[in-house]
Structures are given as structure tokens and as C-alpha cells.
Amino acid sequence: MSNRHAWETTEVIICGCGPTGAMLSAYLGRMGIRNVVVEKETEITTDPRGIALDDDGIRLVQGLGLYNSIYTEIGTSMGEFRFVSGTGHDLYKSPILEINCNETAGTTGHVGYIGQKQPTLESKLRSAMSPVYCSLRCGSAIVDIKEDDDWVYCTYHSVGGKDHKVRARYLVGADGKTGFTRKQYLEPRGVMMEKFHEAFYEETWVALNWKMTLPTPETHPSFPLWELGYKPEHVYDLFFPPEFRFLCNRKRPAVCGRFGLPGDRLWRFEYLVYRDEDGDRMAEPEAMKRTVLPYLTHKGSKYGLDQDVQFPEDCIDVLRCRPFKFSSRTCNVWARDRVILSGDAAHVFPPFGGQGIVSGFRDAISLSWRLAMLCRYQPYKRNHEKVLTAWYLERKQQLGISLATTVRNGELVCERNLLKILFRDWSLWLLQLLPGYREQLRHGRRDKASFRLRHSAGMPFIPELNGGVYLPQVYCRTPTGKVLFTDDAIYRSGSKSLFRVFIYLQRSDEVASARDALEGIEEWSRGEFNSHDVPILVEGMDPKDARTPNVFQIASVEEFSQSPLCSQRPAPLSYDPCLIGKSIKAKYVIVRPDRFVFAACNEPGELKEAVQWMLRYLYGEV
């Protein structure tokens, strides 16, 4: 590439500052990696698109120091998921299945799902982007990408049509399924979006967002429920219940529920468009009313009235109503040379599992530390294809589980065959008569404590030392009694190392000997770890050891429930304080930034060997 001095230089260029791009930038900034984010929109769109964020997503938002904003600004626990069968329009019909999302998902310490406002989520993610390392260029559109052996070169137009030229070690396309990176640059090079054959789904749905205002006796004097003593808030709750509904209606499958904060009064409704129907027509006001308003019309007999009662239409502000084609697809590869895809640019999901945004988050956290490693430890090596291929193969394992679960939920909702519907409903009824199955169904398929990555060549973990296990998160107490998430003890700021090491013990009388095993770790880790900074998590603490520096006692559910961390969120119901110990079964743990265990050891000799393997991986020597 000629005239290189004319190019601004950074380490990573990110195309797109949606949730995936913003999270990637923020985590790169925390790792000290300079990045330029090119975003075509001048402002964050006000249209709430994705509305669900699962416990993994909440955990990764927490990792950016944003936990205090989650329940105060971003969203609210989604409560229960209720699967309702039948062809009627009664949102209060007894469900065939209930999944409690208020219960803490045992693996992460968070509720199962929140209903979030994407514009607020994106704003908070951008606030976590370091002003020192992250440069956001809004109102800018990429027009050209080129590469040589060492750099990728990006030309973009800013507002006013001015050309800007930036070069970086890597470029990440987080610009969506129709973005420039994949459609214009990588598809001609053989990168294609393909059907996810293990669980393929493709249908058109209409998605609408409503914002409600409360009817009052003054604004709607003829509304019949005032005479029965109902207040405006009661009326809103009657017609828009807090639980999220999956409407398994064979005539027109749909999903609906609240999102955002309670005071926002936001409601999402999505309904299927059949293949002989036109999506645009089905999104027109009259078709939308025919589909949705029957669910907002109650039988008068419910209230002892002669006439039916409908929520006032003039209290509904339609923020969005448009068709979308939902698919389960993923690209055949996610990286080619120095250009990488993530989020919707790499894979797309149907709307049945709240996995679209969080899968982009998983891409971002797992990619961020690998890019940091390549830029910091291996800037002049050309080892990136091996590293990025292993990243794709790891993520493909997680993606397969998420997509398959999402498609199964869709099949549950969209079944039209009467015999299969009968079998579905009776099977779920019978299973819920059995206490063990009833609890599993009620919790949903959210327990990832047993998830383990399958190892193949180049993957950064040691399977013989329990590597590849997803690290659970529980609660702990500092020596001064402050309650924390264990991630906040393990991933405390101040350490320059990408990987972290911590000690996990059953009893505090083991602390001294465990610390002795770390003697000299500064030297044999090439300065990656400092023995004085290694956190120690202890299940059972002797009172005389309670104020030992850098020792954190695993906290009880009562301690967490009484702490500020539990403010404005449901208290944990299903919580195992010993989950980390049960999952890793070791004292000395090396963990990656994406919350996967690199190695877990019980002997100091094993720890030294694991650290040496880690160093060889970091420096590209394996």
C-alpha cells in the first residue's frame, strides 16, 4: 500500500457501533487496545429492536462496570415466560408451561432475562468506551477496505463527504447482516451466510412496539371499569400483564410482553406472517388491529358487564410496526485474513430465545482478548489465522446450542398440526406432574454450569486440567463486609494480564499454604501475575481470618439479598454458593476474559506447567 504515512494508524477498526461493536470497543479499551469505531448513523436509533437480554448478557454488561444501570435505566426482570395454547385471545388463559425468569440463573448470579430498552443499553455501552483508547466516528460510512500482509486499510466518508483513511492490524465488521464488511468485501471472497442445518428456521414476522399512556376518568369518562372501582394503573396491568407470553395459537402464532422499566409502559407484540401473505400488508394499521386488538378486548362477563371492554386505542402510540424475516443462519467462516465478522454480520437468530444481542456480546468478549493478545504479544507475527479459526470453532459450539434451543422454542410456539399440538400439550402436562421434571421445566434450559467446550487444535485451554469449563459466578464478601459478584473480585482493574489467576478454597486455614505455592509467580509468569494481587475465594471463613487482605468469603443468599446489589431486582431463589467449587474442582484457576477456564489445578507443579503453556499461547509459540 503506497503512501502509508497518509493513513491514521490504530490497532483495531470496528465497523458499526450497535451493541456488539460498542461492547467490543469497550472491552478492547479496558485491555489497553486502541480502536476506531466507524458508525454510519449520527445518533443512536430510538427504535427498540432487540428487547431481551439473558443472564450471560447481563454478566458481560456487569463486566464493563455498568451493573448499577441495569435495573435503574436499562430494563427489568421479565418475570415469567408463559406458553399459552389454543386459538382464543385470552392472555390470562392457564399456560401449558411457565418458566420463571425471576429466579437467579445458577451459573451467573443474575436473573434469567431482563426486558431491556436497546437505545438505553447502547448508550450505556458507549459510555463504557474508554476516551483514551476508543474513538467513535459517527455519521461515517465505509466505502473501501484493502489489505496487505501486515495491515488492513479502511476508507470512510464522514458527514459532508470528506474522505478519511485509517489502517489497523485488524478490522471487525459489526455492521449487521446487510453491512458493508460482509456484503461488499467478504462475500466476493467466499464468505457466505448459510442455513444452520441442525436447526433451520426462516419465517416473516411483524414486530410492533407500543408505548401506552394511562386512561383516566377525566380523559375517558365513559370507560366502563371506573364505576367498578378500577384505577388507571390497575387498568394498564389488566390489559398488559407483566409476564411475557408465547401465544401458541395455530391460527396466528405470536409473542408479547412488556420491556424496559415499569414506568416506560413499553409493549412488544410479534405475530407470524404466513407464506401466502404479504408482510407489508400485514403490518398495515388495519391488519395490525385485526390481529392484536382481540387480545386487548376482555369479555364483559369477566367484570359482570353486558358489553366487552377494550383498552382505549387512543392511549396507544405505535412506535414501530414492520415486517422482518427471521432466520437461523451463520456464516461459513467468520474471519478471512485480517477482516473479521461478529454479531448479526456473522449469524442471525429467530426471535424465540432472546439470543440475538447476547450472541453478539459473546462474540465481542471472546474476540476482544484474542485481538488484544495478537496486538500486544504478537504484533509482528502472522499467527492470526490460527487464532481466529480457533475462536470461530469455539463460538460455533456455543452458537449451535443457542440456535437449537431458540428454534425448539419456535417450534413449540408455531406448531399447526392438531395431533402434534395435542401431543405437546399433554406431554407438558404429564411432565409437570413429576417434581423433578417440573422444576427443570420451570427453570428453563438456563443451567450452563455443566457446559464445557470441546477441545481441538489451537484452542486456548488445557482440557486435561478442566479447561474449557464455563466459570460460574456467585456472590462474595470483601474483608470489610462489602458484597460483590465473584467476577468483580477476579477481574479487578489494575492487572495488566489478559488472563487472571485465583485461588479457591473450602476453608480459610488453607490460605497460608496456598499463598506459599505462588511464591515466585512473578518470575515464572514473566510478570503476568503478582502473588500479592491474586484473589482468594473461600467457602468457609474462620472469624479470625475474616480481615485477611485479598481474601473473599463466598456470600450467602441472605447477604446478597440485603446488599445494594439486590436493589430493584428480584432476590435470588435458586442459588448455590458452592457452585464454583463444584464446577472447577481445583484450588488454582487460570481463567480467560470470556469467563472460560484455561486450566484448574490442585498442585503447584501443575499450576507452573499451566502458566508456561499460557505464556506460549500468548506469545504465539505454540
Lowest mean pLDDT segment, chosen from 276-285, 387-396, 511-520:
511-520
User: Span 609-620, mean pLDDT?
Assistant: 95
User: Among the ranges 93-107, 331-345, 442-456, which has the highest mean pLDDT value?
Assistant: 331-345
Distance (Å, rounded) from C-alpha 533 to C-alpha 510? 17
Q: How far apart are CA 174 and CA 361, in angstroms?
A: 11
**pLDDT: which is higher, 412 or 470:** 470
| Residue 251 burial class via C-beta count within 10 angstroms: exposed 0-12, middle 13-18, buried 19 and up | exposed
Percent of the chain as helix, strand, coil, to the nearest 5: 35, 25, 40
Q: Report whether pLDDT(4) > 80.
A: no
Express each pLDDT in 465-499 by its tens digit.
999 999 999 999 998 899 999 999 999 876 789 99
What pLDDT does 550 receive?
A: 86
pLDDT at position 380: 82
What pLDDT, in 10s, does the model give residues 155-193? 999 987 789 999 999 999 999 989 999 999 999 999 999
Helix (H) or strand (E) holding 347: strand 347-348
Distance CA 376, CA 476 (A): 32
Domain chopping of the chain, boundaries: 8-70+110-199+338-412, 463-619
pLDDT at 408 over 80: no
Question: What's the mean pLDDT in 314-334?
Answer: 91
Contact 266, 259 (CB under 8 A): yes
Burial class (CB in 10 A: 0-12, 13-18, 19+), 205: buried
Q: Does domain 8-70+110-199+338-412 have CATH number 3.50.50.60?
A: yes
Q: What is the reported pLDDT for 542?
A: 78
Q: Taking 80 as the threshold, does the pLDDT of residue 347 lie above it? A: yes
As a whole-number percent, the residues of the chain with pLDDT over 70 amount to 95
Contact assessment for residue 519 and residue 474, using Cβ atoms and an 8 Å cutoff? no
Distance, CA of 403 to CA of 410 (rounded, Å): 10
Cell 492487572 sits at which residue? 495
Average pLDDT over residues 247-258: 94
DSSP code at position 301: G
Retrieve residue 412's grid coordinates.
Answer: 413449540
Strand, helix or coil for residue 63: coil
Reported as type and span, the H/E element at residue 323 is: strand 316-327
Cα Rg of the chain, angstroms? 26
Q: Are 103 and 112 in contact (CB under 8 A)?
A: yes
Q: Give the tens place of pLDDT for each residue, 216-242.
A: 999 999 999 999 999 999 999 999 999
Q: What is the pLDDT of residue 310?
A: 97
Residue range 239-264: average pLDDT?
A: 94
Note the pTM of the prediction, 2 decimals: 0.94
Mean pLDDT of all residues in 75-87 = 92
Compute the average pLDDT of residues 24-30. 97
Instruction: Please calculate the CA angle 4-9-10 and round it to the nearest 5 degrees.
Output: 155
For residues 327-364, one letter each, b for 16 or more C-beta atoms within 10 angstroms of the residue's C-beta and e for the rest, the string is bbbbbebbbbbbbbbbbbbbbbbbbbbbbbbbbbbbbb
- What pLDDT is recorded for position 3? 63
Strands 335-336 and 551-554: unpaired
Q: What angle do CA 487, 364, 43 make, to 5 degrees?
A: 110
**pLDDT given for residue 1 in this prediction:** 54
Contact between 96 and 510 (Cβ < 8 Å): no
| Per-residue pLDDT at 102 | 77
DSSP 8-state class, residue 590: E
Compute the distance between CA of residue 335 and CA of residue 358 in angstroms, rounded to an integer.
20
93-137 pLDDT, tens digit per residue, is: 999 988 888 765 568 999 989 999 999 999 999 999 999 999 999
| Average pLDDT of every residue of the chain | 91
Task: Please provide the CATH number assigned to the domain covering 463-619.
Answer: 3.40.30
Residue 448 pLDDT > 90: no
Q: How far apart are CA 44 and CA 64, in angstroms?
A: 19
User: What is the predicted pLDDT for the residue at 138?
Assistant: 96
Which one, of 588, 372, 333, 360, lies nearest residue 462 by Cα?
Answer: 588
